[in-house]
């Protein structure tokens, strides 16, 4: 699959291919099935539609690896505008924000940002968390590649001192994640568990899909099985895998988890019928909606990071044609 991934990564930097995808009616329609648009208004419309179907959302303003302070500040401003629009539409109860720390300054060095990227990212994350709380919603701090995991969890701990409702994300393919699950499995702790999408080295991550799935189940048992005197943690089960959805449902039942004490999460445009089925069955479902001008790179990297996702894309393309 490596040649496929390398080709997709190369295409992610091609402006001519982006123009082709956005101008051909069929492919443009498929792209809109995965990324609703470039503006906050586009994301809010998608959120409103899903909310009308009983499905919650988390919205990600696309962009990462910010290289200057102004760009980080512009990203913060975009989130503040998004939260204001969600509040005005009465959607705050069903919508939260997902934030990548490298998009708001984590990667900046001391020469660019006094105090360094960690300080800037923490200050910016606090501003977004404060705005989210003011409109009645929350923030989840997205996880990125393994080189940022320690910094991301350290900033999460700092944020939770003032904003304990802030969500965490853990990636099951990393060897360390079972231990991180145990550390984060406490009352009120919101933890999104995903398989992981970055191309990680075998020194830090499982590379065999079966091993990743087994790790995911072990982590699920830790999160769903937590029951303390002060209450349960709140697992956010992020997977499109039908088998893992079934296993998660079975484990929730085994551990006496009531519906609403956990949730399922899926990407916008992937398995929408399953999203509706789970919601109709009384499960809490949240859809991850990416938007912004960086959508093309996001889409191609998503396909490159997990080439099996290409099947979803191509199947949709065939059905639309």
Report, as residue numbers or ranges, the catalytic residues: 142, 192
Q: In 198-308, which residue ranges form alpha helices assigned H by DSSP?
A: 209-225, 242-254, 272-280, 295-305
C-alpha 208/C-alpha 205 separation (Å) is 9
- Residues contacting 303, CB < 8 A, separation 6+: 8, 309, 310, 313
Distance spanning both ends of the chain, measured CA to CA: 26
* Under 8 Å between Cβ of 171 and 180: no
Residue 125: closest CA among 79, 83, 66:
79
* Radius of gyration of the chain measured on its C-alpha atoms: 19
- Phi, psi of 228, rounded to the nearest 5 degrees: -110, 175
Structure tokens at 276: 């509706």
DSSP 67-127: -SHHHHHHHHHHHHHHHHHHHHTT-GGGEEEEE-GGGGTTT--TTTSTTHHHHHHHHHHHH
Q: In 136-208, which residue ranges form alpha helices assigned H by DSSP?
A: 149-162, 177-184
C-alpha 287/C-alpha 53 separation (Å) is 12
C-alpha 303/C-alpha 171 separation (Å) is 18
C-alpha 199/C-alpha 180 separation (Å) is 20
Angle between helix 242-254 and 209-225 (nearest 10): 30
Residue 169 buriedness (CB in 10 A; 0-12 / 13-18 / 19+)? buried
């Amino acid at each position: 699959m490596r040649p496929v991934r390398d080709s997709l990564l190369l295409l992610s930097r091609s402006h001519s291919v982006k123009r082709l995808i956005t101008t051909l009616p069929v492919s443009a329609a498929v792209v809109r099935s995965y990324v609703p648009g470039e503006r906050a208004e586009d994301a809010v419309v998608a959120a409103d539609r899903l909310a009308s179907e009983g499905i919650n959302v988390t919205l990600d303003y696309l962009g990462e690896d910010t290289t200057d302070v102004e760009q980080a500040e512009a990203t913060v401003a975009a989130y503040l505008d998004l939260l204001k629009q969600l509040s005005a539409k009465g959607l705050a109860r069903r919508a939260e924000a997902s934030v990548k720390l490298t998009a708001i300054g984590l990667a900046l060095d001391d020469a660019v940002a006094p105090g360094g990227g960690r300080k800037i990212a923490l200050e910016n994350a606090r501003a977004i968390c404060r705005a989210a709380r003011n409109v009645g919603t929350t923030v989840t701090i997205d996880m990125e590649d393994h080189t940022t995991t320690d910094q991301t969890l350290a900033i999460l701990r700092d944020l939770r001192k003032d904003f304990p409702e802030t969500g965490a994300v853990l990636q099951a393919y990393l060897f360390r994640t079972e231990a991180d699950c145990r550390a984060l499995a406490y009352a009120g702790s919101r933890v999104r568990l995903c398989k992981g999408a970055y191309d990680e080295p075998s020194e830090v991550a499982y590379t065999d899909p079966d091993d990743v799935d087994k790790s995911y189940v072990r982590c699920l048992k830790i999160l769903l099985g937590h029951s303390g005197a002060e209450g349960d943690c709140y697992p956010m089960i992020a997977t499109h895998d039908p088998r893992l959805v079934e296993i998660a449902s079975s484990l929730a039942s085994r551990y006496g988890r009531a519906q609403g004490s956990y949730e399922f999460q899926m990407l916008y445009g992937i398995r929408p019928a399953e999203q509706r089925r789970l919601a109709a069955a009384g499960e809490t479902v949240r859809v991850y909606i990416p938007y912004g001008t960086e959508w093309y790179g996001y889409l191609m990297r998503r396909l490159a990071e997990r080439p099996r996702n290409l099947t979803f894309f191509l199947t949709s393309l065939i059905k639309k044609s």
